[in-house]
Homo-oligomer: A and B are copies of this chain.
Amino acid sequence: MATFKDIGLSAAVNLLSAFSFLVAFAILRLQPVNDRVYFPKWYRKGVRSSPTCAGAFVSKFVNLDFKTYIRFLNWMPEALKMPEAELVDHAGLDSAVYLRIYLLGLKIFVPLAVLAFAVLVPVNWTGNTLEKTEDLTFSDIDKLSISNVHSGSKRLYAHIVMSYVFTLWTFYVLRNEYKIVANMRLRFLASESRRPDQFTVLVRNIPPDPDESVSEHVEHFFCVNHPDHYLTHQVVYNANKLAELAAEKKGFQNWLTYYKNNYERTSKKPTTKTGFWGLWGAQLDAIDFYTAKIEKLTEEENAERERVINDAKAIVPAAFVSFKSRWGAAVCAQTQQSSNPTIWLTDWAPEPRDIYWDNLSIPYVELTIRRLLMAVALFFLIFFFIFPIAFVQSLANIEGIEKVLPFLKPLIRIGFVKSLIQGVLPGIALKIFLIVLPLILMTMSKIEGFTSHSTLERRSAGKYYLFILVNVFLGSIITGTALEQLESFLNQAPTEIPKTFGVSIPMKATFFITYTMVDGWAGIAVEILRLVPLVVFHLKNTFLVKTDQDRDEAMDPGFLRFAQSEPRIQFYILLGLVYAAVTPILLPFIIVFFAFSYIVFRHQIINVYDQIYESGAAFWPDVHRRLIINLIISQLLMLGLLSTMEADRATPLLIPLPIITIWFHMYCKGRFESAFVMFPLQDAMVKDTLEKATEPNLNLRTYLQDAYVHPVFKGGELEIAQITDEEEHSPLVVTKRSLSSKHDSDGSSKASR
């Protein structure tokens, strides 16, 4: 087990590596040639169009101003400077509220750490149990933990009291935060300028009608049932094939540009092969080949577009119905239309760029079956994922490779190669799985049939959280696979499970400290380096880019990957809550993680990420719920730990804690959640009235006309954007989102792929 010295050494190594990443970042970001990698957000917003420092030819690529290198950490205070209100304008509410999760971690754990160090550390330190025993499996760290307290000691009451204090403090912070975020959301929605989704409702499961087309049927239904409010509607075409064709064409166009640039540079006619990835087949002139391909695809695309628009079967039974007022839309979105609750399903339309077009036409029964299958699949993924990996690992040993690919035998027999394969291969299968996992989870969410990207991300985050909870947290505590845990869950009494886990918690503290430093500290420092986008940008820049516009398109600002990073935060919060009363020495490490992440992500959000949608912090109820789950897990584990420490009279005092926590959750849910689900009629009425007074002559029909057209049909996209811009620049209501609107269609077409 680790001593203070070991931990110190590990901390030094990790701090050093994090520091070196930061230095690398500081140097790279100052090079003008990397400007589009580290400041893409500003390019996207149109504020920046070329690196800031102009001058000699060399200084276009390399920064020669050595003074700037000295202040290499000055991005940190800069990242903190922007006030929150401006941040909301600059990057949207989603990003601003996401940052608040890190702040929430700090708000919870800084006071907890102070209290724990003031009260529990002295209590533990003077417990003196471990000094008496000569057991070498205990380390210095454990002297500060609850393990140092004698079983059945009166000192354990201190831990119980502190558990209550910690829980109540967490309640206080959580409730405040929920209230603040709910208010931010309401203010955000209220201050927003006119947007199509405020007037529009997504109607799904439109029943087939033998006499009318979908469009007529929708119009008649809403004219009858919402006579005073119905304005217009937009049917949804099944344009999945068309989108595929467009994506394919785009790929060929990239190759064409590549070969054209090549030709210009070398003046040598480039050639390619017709086979797969240009690896085999007949040799041909590359430019001609791709030009022909693109022409063919364009024709196919046009034919398909014609077919989709004219074929009644290409219209899916879903529509975007727009209303004359926000009040009318709010009413339609919140009420049931038909006596059969599986048809004419209405819900708020997502933002146009947030829509996941593929899922708009799934019938009700299919949807319930899909959810059932995915729930079963998730269960197997979490508890049985180790089997296929073990299978691959068993294949990927030396003997297996020799058998399948006998010609590699001589190579493999070389000592160095052999040990490399044996050392690396088994790990690789697991690593590849973990990299692909978020993708698998996202695919599962897509199969579940949700209709917006924001919902898909939220659902994936939930799945990922469960995976981390079972396989990383619980799996590390009782070392063993998830399946072994499942077995112990099934074969142990419910009261025994917290004991089994609780008793090994203090022993795992050093492991989790190391984990926090490697994954939390160094991992976040890697994030800011953006290695992959850096390489990809320079590749594109070299081979594909000709004009500045090309260069702008080659930028990949990326976006906040909520589905991956939020569950990670929750894991650290769980660690902190579990160890706050057990081994408080872990808290400072977690606090460093939260503080460092906060600065890094604030920098990234300001300078890099370009969100593809804006959900108005709709994810907060999920964050809150998972935090409550963390709290309950930590309480149950504490209960289990104490009951193994012979504190029979003291332990029952902890039983009310989880009950109060569940009640607190229900209270918060009732009090705040609807701000994230519903849109109150009062607010709708206020906005409608204001609008009527300020713009009596507004032509809403024109405004909404093309808002919900599938992105592949947006040929006349720029004209529409023009109209929107004009209106948004009207002097009556100041808007803040005109700059990003040009890129909407970009983002959503990218994401729907």
Closest to A186 in B: B339
- Of A288-296, A352-360, A680-688, the segment with at least 4 beta carbons within 8 Å of chain B is A680-688
Knowing A490-B494, A492-B493 touch, does A339 contact B667 (C-beta < 8 A)?
no
Q: Is A342 an interface residue (CB 8 A)?
A: yes
| Distance between A724 CB and nearest chain B CB, rounded to angstroms | 27
Query: Roughly how many angstroms separate A335 CA and B335 CA in the complex, as a whole number?
Result: 7
Q: Is A263 at the interface (CB under 8 A from chain B)?
A: no
Closest partner residue, chain B, to A227 (CB atom): B685
Segment of A460-468, A568-576, A668-676 engaged in the interface with chain B: A668-676
Chain A, 399-413, CB within 8 A of any chain B CB: none
Q: How far is the CB of A528 from chain B (nearest CB, A)?
A: 38
Protomer copies: 2
For residue A262, give the distance in angstroms from its CB to the closest CB of chain B.
Answer: 57
A495 CA / B678 CA spacing, docked (Å): 42
Cβ of A365 within 8 Å of any chain B Cβ, yes or no, is yes
A224 at the interface (CB under 8 A from B): yes
Which residues in window 331-377 of A have CB below 8 A to B?
A: 331, 334-339, 341-342, 344, 364-365, 368-369, 371-372, 376
Q: Indicate if A153 sits at the interface (CB-CB under 8 A).
A: no
Q: Is the CB of B331 within 8 A of A335?
A: yes
Which of B186, B336, B495, B663 contacts A334 (CB under 8 A)? B336
> What residues of B have a CB within 8 angstroms of the CB of A479 in the complex?
none
User: In the complex the two chains form, what is the Cα distance from A680 to B672 in whole Å?
Assistant: 26
Report yes or no: B364 in contact with A681, Cβ–Cβ below 8 A. no
A78 within 8 A of B: no
Q: Which of B228, B338, B493, B682 contacts A338 (CB 8 A)?
A: B682
- Verify B372–A671 contact, CB threshold 8 A: no
Docked complex Cα distance between A666 and B372 (Å):
10
Return the contact of A493 from the options B337, B493, B666, B674 (Cβ within 8 A).
B493
B-chain residues with CB within 8 Å of residue A226 when the two chains form the complex: 681
- Known contacts A335-B334, A495-B491: does B341 contact A685 (CB below 8 Å)? no
**Contacts A330-B335, A678-B336; A368 near B670 (Cβ below 8 A):** yes
Complex contact B228–A228 (CB within 8 A) = yes
- Contact check, A342 vs B670: say whether CB atoms are below 8 A apart: yes
Does A165 lie at the interface of the complex (its beta carbon under 8 Å from any beta carbon of B)?
no
A228 — which chain B residues lie within 8 A by C-beta? Answer: 228
Q: Is A489 an interface residue (CB 8 A)?
A: yes
B-side contacts of A667, CB under 8 Å:
365, 368
Asked whether A309 is an interface residue with its Cβ less than 8 Å from the other chain, the reply is no
Interface flag for A723 (CB, 8 Å): no
* Given A341-B671, A491-B495: A681 in contact with B335 (beta carbons within 8 A): yes
Contacts of A681 in B (CB 8 A): 225-226, 335-337
Are B663 and A372 closer than 8 Å at their CB atoms?
yes
3 interchain residue pairs of minimum CB distance: A341-B674, A336-B678, A372-B663
> 26 pairs across A/B with beta carbons < 8 Å?
A186-B339, A330-B335, A334-B334, A334-B335, A335-B680, A336-B678, A337-B680, A337-B681, A338-B680, A339-B682, A341-B671, A341-B672, A341-B673, A341-B674, A341-B675, A342-B670, A364-B670, A364-B671, A365-B667, A372-B659, A372-B663, A489-B494, A491-B495, A491-B496, A493-B493, A494-B494
